Structure 1
Amino acid sequence: MSNQQKPPKKIVIFASGNGTNAENIIKHFQKSEKAEVVALFSNRRSAGALKKAHDLNVKALHFDKEAIYHSHEVLNVLRDMKPDLIVLAGFLWLMPKRILQQFSNKVINIHPALLPAYGGKGMYGSRVHEAVIANKEKESGISIHYVNDQYDEGRIIFQARTQLDNTDTPDSLAQKIHELEYRHFPEVIEELLEKQA
């Protein structure tokens, strides 16, 4: 009987913005022997996520619309990497069908609200928190879900909630949501990878 460790599972992250969730996930799995983040892709050359990945010695790749929607460039790189999970962490473009078909049930996203509420095209970041506050909601939260070819409509994997009070602003709500994201997103990723054969 061999006691050899299985090779670590491979995670690829897609991010469009500052990359605080991406950074949190990378750091979490740098302490793990079971999985590692092998690359971060961004559609914005100026995205903070690219610098954060680079600083943490993770391959940081920029791509444009042509590379993801009109050619197989991004798909071919992903095929070569063979990720066990593709994680969208603040990625604002719709994932093309050809990638979703190639990596069926292996693409997940995090959304800063309790889906199906406050989801859909254009609902991201502060726009979500502003809408939640404007509607005087009593709670908000995060949703982690599988990705399909519609914004925020894939099957929900996990949700966590936070209470709002009368003094909350979009900024203070964003803080509460970030805390939920940082606490739960790496754990949910870990659980999904463990369930894979």
Structure 2
Amino acid sequence: MKKIVIFASGSGSNAENIIKYFKETKVAQVVSVFTNNPNAKVIERAKNHQIPVEIFSKNELLERNILQKIQEIAPDLIVLAGFLLKFPQNIIELYPNKIINIHPALLPNYGGKGMYGMHIHRAIVNNKEKETGISIHYVNEHYDEGGIIFQMNVAVTEKDTPETVAEKIHELEQKFFPEVIEKLLNE
């Protein structure tokens, strides 16, 4: 069975959705969740599904021990699901086109350092954008600049607030992220 490793920094709703999806489809399985945040809700979500969790510091990510743990697992795909640190070059080089990220906007717009979550949704509303969406892309050495794998858009109306935009984006993420992961694993 194919193995997925998830990196997350926050609530873990996308991580849990991926875990549940692959428990049902049995195409692959999430074998570990890595987080840089010892208070992240993703820890509890993973443990509720009996998924091992690795908690690490930013320094540990840059040092060899996280890379060694990944190599021991030998994942078929590394999925960044709300992971807020820049991913290390040494890991990217060892797993070319095997590390993907989801971004809550239509890249290349609203990408880059500091562009995540509500920061993006506020900017979308403040700039009176007519649409937004999600982008699933390969991870490279630059924030949000890897090759785009999939995008899906959604309309933004004058009545939308950052919170309602966040809800629309969350719906897209929940529906499409697991499906795109499955497609990549089957290629």
Q: TM tier, shorter chain? A: over 0.9
Which of 95, 112, 115 does residue 107 from structure 2 map onto? 115
* 1:32-111 pair list within 5 angstroms: 32-69=25-62, 71-111=63-103
Partner of 1:5: none
Alpha-carbon distance in 1 for matches of 2:59, 2:51 = 24
Partner of 1:14: 7
Displacement of 1:32 in angstroms is 2.1
Letter in 2 for 1:44: N
Partner of 2:170: 178
Moved over 3 A (4+): none
Which of 17, 21, 25 does residue 28 from structure 1 map onto? 21
Larger Rg: 1
Considering only aligned residues, what root-mean-square deviation do their CA atoms show, in Å? 0.5
Displacement of 1:191 in angstroms is 0.2
Counterpart secondary structure, 2:160: coil
Counterpart secondary structure, 2:33: strand
Q: TM-score, structure 2 length as denominator? A: 0.99
Q: TM-score, structure 1 length as denominator? A: 0.94
Displacement of 1:65 in angstroms is 1.5
Alpha-carbon distance in 1 for matches of 2:83, 2:58 = 13
Structure 1 unmatched runs, 5+: 1-7
Residue correspondences, number: 187
Counterpart secondary structure, 2:153: strand
Letter in 2 for 1:149: E
Structure 2 unmatched runs, 5+: none
Displacement of 1:33 in angstroms is 2.1
Alpha-carbon distance in 2 for matches of 1:33, 1:112 = 27
Partner of 2:144: 152
